[in-house]
Structure 1
Amino acid sequence: MEFASDNHGLISIHPSAQVSELADLERSQRSTRIVIGAGCRIDSFVKIKPAGGLGDVRLGERCYLNSGCVLYSGNGIIIGNDVLIAANCTLAPVNHSFRDRNRLIREQGFEPSRGGIVIEDDVWIGANCVLLDGTVLRRGCVLAAGSLVRGELPAYSICCGTPAMPIDARVG
């Protein structure tokens, strides 16, 4: 299924993807694209919102977004294949400016991009994690519940904490 309206953002959903009627994929006012790959499953109460930048949100194949996840487009989110994201995670590839004391924060706009969020193939993100602008989760990474990430985590590592740090490696 693919649709667009009045030069607004495009939402493209592969025919084999399953998107709950209770999920909210919001169309962009600035041409941000949301692309959902083959075999993906988007659970109820997932919100994908174009906000804070011109980046696209792209999910590879066979990804699963569990209930309560919120993804802001910001500077872009690229998710590889076979990625599992547990309940109530937030992906926010955007940062508000706040340095000018003479202006309200809401009037200062956004900081330059730190690269968006990149999640490579075969990653598992536990419940209640927060991923910020500049996050890169390399292939096979496992992120423990409640972790906060801004920066790169190595391939096949098991990571946890605030900020998330590698504590072990997946055995192969």
Structure 2
Amino acid sequence: MADYMLRATDSLSRRVRGRLYASFSPHLHRSLRIDRGTRIRSLHKLKVGVNVWFKEGVLINARSDREFGIEIGDDVTIRSYSYLDCYGANGRIAIGARTGIGQSVYIGGNGGVIIGNDVMISGHTYIVAATHGFDPSISIPYAKQPETRVGICIEDGAWVAANCVVVDGVTVGAGSVVAAGAVVTRDVPERTLVAGVPARPVRSLAR
């Protein structure tokens, strides 16, 4: 009985938090659920659909120069301690419907990250749409060399498994799978399993 009461209290609390945030922005649906420890920055630049759940310790920073820095579709769950961040003129993260973001995922959308519908991003994955220059012929530290921002697209139905890295300029095709621990440095064709460092095709997943 005590366990049931605690679960019911947690469920009510996350719904109350969601409605509280939604009361400050017309772009957040009232069905939003927010667990304790979640932080949202630049709330006015966040757009959230129906039945979205931010689990414990999630950090959302939508500080882009665009009207909406982060847009999240219906029925999306972002699991504990994930961090979504974007800034600058092209800063954008868009997540389609029914997509799941695993625990402790980092998505840096400075150059734009577009994630389609029904996508799985497993835990401890790193997706960053930006990179620093590293020209050794000039006497400028790498940290101060110009940053390039091209953008990343992960298409409908793809699965990026745990502990992966997806670098700027890459498209992960619809229905493809990126095996755990892979580093994706080039486009992944549709319905293809890739693995390794750097990621290379293993086999077709075509029906």
Flag whether TM exceeds 0.5 (same fold).
yes
Higher relative contact order (CA 8 A, sep 6+): 1
Select the residue among 132, 141, 154 that pairs with 1:104. Answer: 141
**Between Structure 1 and Structure 2, how many residues are aligned?**
169
Cross-structure match for 2:90: 54
Cross-structure match for 1:161: 196
State the 1:107 CA deviation: 2.1
Q: Deviations over 1:73-121 (max 9, x none)?
A: 121100010000111000011111232632222222302x3x3110110
Partners of 2:89 and 2:186 in 1: how far apart? 19
Residues 77 and 118, structure 1, Cα contact 8 Å, conserved in 2: yes
State the 1:20 CA deviation: 1.5
Q: Secondary structure at the match of 1:153?
A: coil
The change in CA–CA distance for 1:52 and 1:144 in structure 2 (over 3 A counts) is: farther
Partners of 1:162 and 1:53 in 2: how far apart? 31
Residues 105 and 123, structure 2, Cα contact 8 Å, conserved in 1: yes
The change in CA–CA distance for 1:52 and 1:130 in structure 2 (over 3 A counts) is: farther
The normalised TM-score by structure 1 is 0.88
* Structure 1 residue ranges without an equivalent (≥5): none
Q: Which has the higher helix share?
A: 2
Select the residue among 158, 183, 194 that pairs with 1:123. Answer: 158
Residues 52 and 110, structure 1, Cα contact 8 Å, conserved in 2: no
Residues 142 and 159, structure 1, Cα contact 8 Å, conserved in 2: yes
One-letter amino acid matched to 1:103 = I
Residues 9 and 33, structure 1, Cα contact 8 Å, conserved in 2: no
The change in CA–CA distance for 1:52 and 1:167 in structure 2 (over 3 A counts) is: farther
Cross-structure match for 1:34: 70
Q: Secondary structure at the match of 1:152?
A: coil
The normalised TM-score by structure 2 is 0.74
Which stretch of structure 1 is more off in the superposition, 50-59 or 77-86? 50-59
Partners of 1:140 and 1:9 in 2: how far apart? 33
Cross-structure match for 2:46: 11
Identity %: 26
Partners of 2:49 and 2:74 in 1: how far apart? 5
Cross-structure match for 1:86: 122
Which stretch of structure 1 is more off in the superposition, 49-58 or 66-75? 49-58
Partners of 1:51 and 1:157 in 2: how far apart? 32
State the 1:151 CA deviation: 1.7
Larger radius of gyration: 2
One-letter amino acid matched to 1:165 = R
